[in-house]
Copies of this chain bind each other. A is one copy, B any other.
Amino acid sequence: MGVTMNDVARAAGVSLKTVSNVINDYEFIRPATKQRVLDAISELGYETNLTARSLRSGKTSMLGLVLADLSIPYYAELASDIMKAAWARGYRVLVEQSGNEAEHEKAALQGQFRSLTDGLLFIPLALDAEQIITAAGKKPLVLLGEFVQDPRLDMVLIQNQEAAAAVTAHLLAGGRRRIAVLGAHDGDEAGSNGLRLRGYRAALAAAGVEHDPELVVPCGWRRDGGADATARLLDSGVEFDAVFGLNDALALGALHELLLRGRKVPEEIAVAGFDDLDESRFASPSLTTVAPGRAEIAERAVELLIERIESKDAVHSVQQPKAAFAMKVRQSAP
């Protein structure tokens, strides 16, 4: 157990450094020498010790990914895309679940384990920009999710406001006038939910439809939150002819509750979401939603982070690319 370069060197009759050179594709090695080393490597079953390499070179070739919880489908799908993008560029991803708690997020930014990664992809939920900047120090960092916005931070943006406006406009075009919104407080301005809410209000205003604060229902971020909120809404007696879940999980929870209570979707009440989960396509009825460009987000975020890592000292201006979104009109709101 544990063949080292030294063993290989001895077996091949060369110096340790030559083995290193072969492994790192150094240009000037005689083919015969190279072959001898390669033979020795495969004969002994040598494998590079990445830990040692990291210590010496100062790079781990790992990216940290901090998100709330993998059991939330949107994060799982995003994580999957991010891992593929990173892998394609020779990096691995170390996922850290923050459980949406400030303490865990902070720990991820500045804790011990930071030293295992070359940079961080971070989906902040509990910390604000100031806290993030303080905690992160100089480590390469790219934010995702737009919960936090700040001109000093690199991030990949979702067009929250525009996309939410598009969903709302679609519902309005379908003749809906009393569109309930799940997942935000009426006053929210910040965070992705705030931005999405703003998009909703903008679309209403553009269509000349009055905004009723009673239709904005705060709730958790998961399916049960959407279901509960819908139940409360139905019980409250407030009239509505559509539900816009600020994410698909909420919309699916709402859909479930509406059908449970015998409401007809979409005839009576239309339902729309935001995220375009794989699951949403297969809901019954299938869910109208907007795709925020997940694959593009993953790709861009990884690319940007790696750029920051590999040109660490270079001067650079903050980048905040926006991903393209796309409406997905399905049965729940045709």
Contacts and interface: CB of A to CB of B under 8 A. Distances in A.
A211 interface: no
A83 B65 CA distance: 13
A35 B224 CA distance: 48
Contacts of A112: 47-48, 50
Given A70-B80, A93-B95, A256 B279 contact: no
A145 interface: no
Interface stretch (A7-15, A155-163, A232-240, A281-289): A281-289
What 5 pairs across the A-B complex have the smallest Cβ distances? A76-B76, A70-B80, A71-B80, A259-B284, A223-B282
A79 B260 CA distance: 31
Interface stretch (A113-121, A173-181, A301-309): A113-121
Q: How many copies of this chain sit in the oligomeric assembly?
A: 2
Given A55-B52, A60-B51, A80-B70, A256 B282 contact: yes
Contacts of A60: 51
Interface in A236-271: 252-253, 255-256, 259-260
A33 interface: no
A16 interface: no
Secondary structure class of chain A's binding surface, majority of residues: helix
A320 B86 CA distance: 35
A36 interface: no
A57 to B, nearest CB: 10
Interface string A127-155: 00000000000100000000000000000
B138 A1 contact: yes
A227 B279 CA distance: 12
A77 interface: yes
Contact of A70 (B76, B110, B113, B255): B76
Contact of A260 (B47, B87, B253, B284): B284
A73 interface: yes
Given A138-B1, A279-B223, A51 B284 contact: no
